[in-house]
């Protein structure tokens, strides 16, 4: 059954437009409280947020709804999404709630959830919450109302946890790094983590004002970081997104190192230097349908099994659980290291890459050259009406024609976006000009077919 409000990562949209309104979010808090009670919960939820201006409004609305349902609240303040997952577990809460729209602009916001074990909520629980949203808000007796308490040492707890994910003997002395926090939730904790491990840290994007989150900075806009790495002669740059669950890096030459390359570096380090819990790593790695073909081939050469999940870190995590593997991630930089934590964590992923550099004695630039990325072109075809490429014989014939021209040296993917009214047309192969030409031809055919339906 399709969900009305929940997408691939919680509920997200433009502030002031349903469902991202104070009234709806209050109702959502109440519904979550009732679902927790029906599951025999202890009645405690932790809430954290990123730095966008609307976070305070929605924090208050969630508090009101949860309190009306009799649930106690622990307020963490600005905190990276993976930090909230960690504190949900260690504080023995029934759930963790994150107020964030991740890499989106400040005028968007969203609400996403973690279970008591620090994982994304399963579909069944999201369906349950949506059922309670059909009921009017009620209020428990005054003596049973939930209480809200601010957790003053949340940042310190998370900083120590991040540091614990690398060996005690690992130090980053003499390593100059530039850290771009996207004026988001990591603005305070990320520089401290790297500094306390000995790195010489230069910061970018650590002055949030409520509206500058992700603005010309962070993992989706690494140009300023690339420039800073070159200017300061740094060994690497770390770009986080607004809520800190996504990571892109920059090597000492100023070249971007994306999520596929970072995942490859971490996996090869695990394979070559032994798993942190003892013994060499013999598991596989989960990517997505968008992961570069070069990553798949590099893992094949290295003898590391590889499987693709649907786009979205929750689907990556689900397939990791099914396979019993500890590594997975997306090209966008959501990287999950299950031997360290339960969800994608930009700071922890960066530490794993730095550990690989120390272990190998090699630069980030050298390590990334272990895989060769195939040229990839993706074009977004905007839709006026709902359109499924699978239902168009003309589009399917065009896809088969493109695949024939690639002659087994590439891939074609047509994927409806989960957050925008677009079809993503992706073509990948070993000949860059051919890939771009074929992608544009196929995008034109998809656009024409979509207009015909409209």
115 is catalytic: no
**Cα–Cα distance between 238 and 335 in angstroms, integer?**
14
* Burial status of residue 52 (CB atoms within 10 A of its CB: 0-12, 13-18, 19 or more): buried
- Given a contact cutoff of 8 angstroms between Cβ atoms, the answer to whether 204 and 228 are in contact is yes
- Given a contact cutoff of 8 angstroms between Cβ atoms, the answer to whether 149 and 74 are in contact is yes
In angstroms, the Cα distances linking 208 to 155, 192, 214 are 17, 17, 10
- Nearest CA to 83 out of 58, 56, 47 is that of 47
DSSP states of 196-256: HTT-EEEEES----SS-TTTT-STT-THHHHHHHHHHT-SEEEEE-TTS--EEEEETTS-E
* Burial status of residue 137 (CB atoms within 10 A of its CB: 0-12, 13-18, 19 or more): middle
Choosing from 54, 67, 100, 102, the catalytic residue is: 102
Helices (H) and strands (E) in the chain, counts: 14, 18
Task: Read off φ and ψ for residue 379, nearest 5 degrees.
Answer: -125, 130
* Residues in the chain, overall count: 454
Tokens of 378: 């993706």
Position of tokens 């602009």?
105
* 19 cis-preceded (ω within 30 degrees of 0): yes
**Cα–Cα distance between 295 and 261 in angstroms, integer?**
7
Task: Read off φ and ψ for residue 240, nearest 5 degrees.
Answer: -105, 160
Strand partners, 425: 379, 414
Catalytic residues: 102
């Amino acid at each position: 059954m399709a969900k009305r409000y929940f997408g691939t990562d919680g509920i997200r949209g433009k502030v002031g437009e349903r469902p991202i309104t104070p009234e709806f979010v209050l109702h959502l808090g109440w519904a979550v409280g009732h679902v927790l009670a029906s599951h025999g919960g202890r009645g405690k939820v932790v809430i954290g947020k990123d730095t966008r201006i609307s976070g305070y409004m929605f924090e208050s609305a969630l508090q009101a709804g949860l309190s009306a349902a009799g649930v106690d609240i622990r307020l963490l303040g600005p905190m990276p999404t993976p930090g909230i997952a960690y504190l949900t577990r260690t504080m023995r809460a029934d759930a963790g709630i994150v107020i964030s729209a991740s890499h989106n602009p400040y005028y968007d916001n969203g609400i996403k959830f973690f279970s008591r074990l620090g994982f994304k909520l399963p579909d069944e629980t999201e369906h349950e919450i949506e059922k309670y949203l059909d009921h009017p808000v009620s209020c428990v007796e005054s003596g049973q109302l939930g209480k809200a308490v601010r957790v003053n040492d949340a940042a310190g707890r998370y900083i120590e946890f991040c540091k614990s994910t690398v060996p005690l003997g690992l130090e980053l002395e003499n390593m100059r790094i530039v850290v771009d926090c996207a004026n988001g939730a990591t603005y305070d904790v990320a520089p401290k983590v790297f500094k306390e491990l000995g790195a010489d840290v230069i910061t970018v994007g650590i002055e949030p004002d409520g509206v500058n989150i992700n603005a010309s900075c962070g993992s989706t806009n690494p140009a300023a970081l690339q420039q800073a790495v070159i200017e300061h002669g740094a060994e690497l740059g770390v770009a986080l997104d607004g809520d800190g669950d996504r990571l892109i890096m920059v090597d000492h030459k100023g070249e971007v190192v994306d999520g596929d390359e970072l995942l490859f570096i971490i996996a090869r380090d695990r394979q070559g230097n032994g798993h942190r819990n003892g013994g060499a790593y013999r598991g596989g790695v989960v990517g997505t349908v968008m992961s570069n073909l070069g990553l798949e081939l590099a893992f094949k050469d290295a003898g590391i099994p590889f499987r693709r999940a649907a786009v979205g870190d929750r689907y990556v995590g689900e397939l990791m659980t099914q396979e019993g593997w500890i590594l997975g991630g997306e090209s966008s930089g959501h990287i999950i290291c299950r031997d360290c934590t339960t969800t994608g964590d930009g700071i922890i992923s960066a530490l794993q890459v730095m550990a690989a550099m120390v272990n190998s004695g090699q630069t980030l630039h050298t390590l990334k050259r272990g895989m060769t990325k195939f040229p990839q072109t993706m074009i977004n075809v905007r839709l006026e009406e709902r359109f499924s490429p699978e239902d168009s014989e003309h589009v399917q014939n065009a896809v088969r024609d493109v695949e024939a021209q690639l002659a087994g040296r590439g891939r074609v993917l047509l994927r409806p976006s989960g957050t925008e009214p677009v079809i993503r047309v992706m073509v990948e192969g070993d000949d860059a000009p051919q890939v771009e030409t074929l992608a544009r031809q196929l995008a034109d055919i998809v656009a024409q077919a979509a207009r015909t339906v409209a």
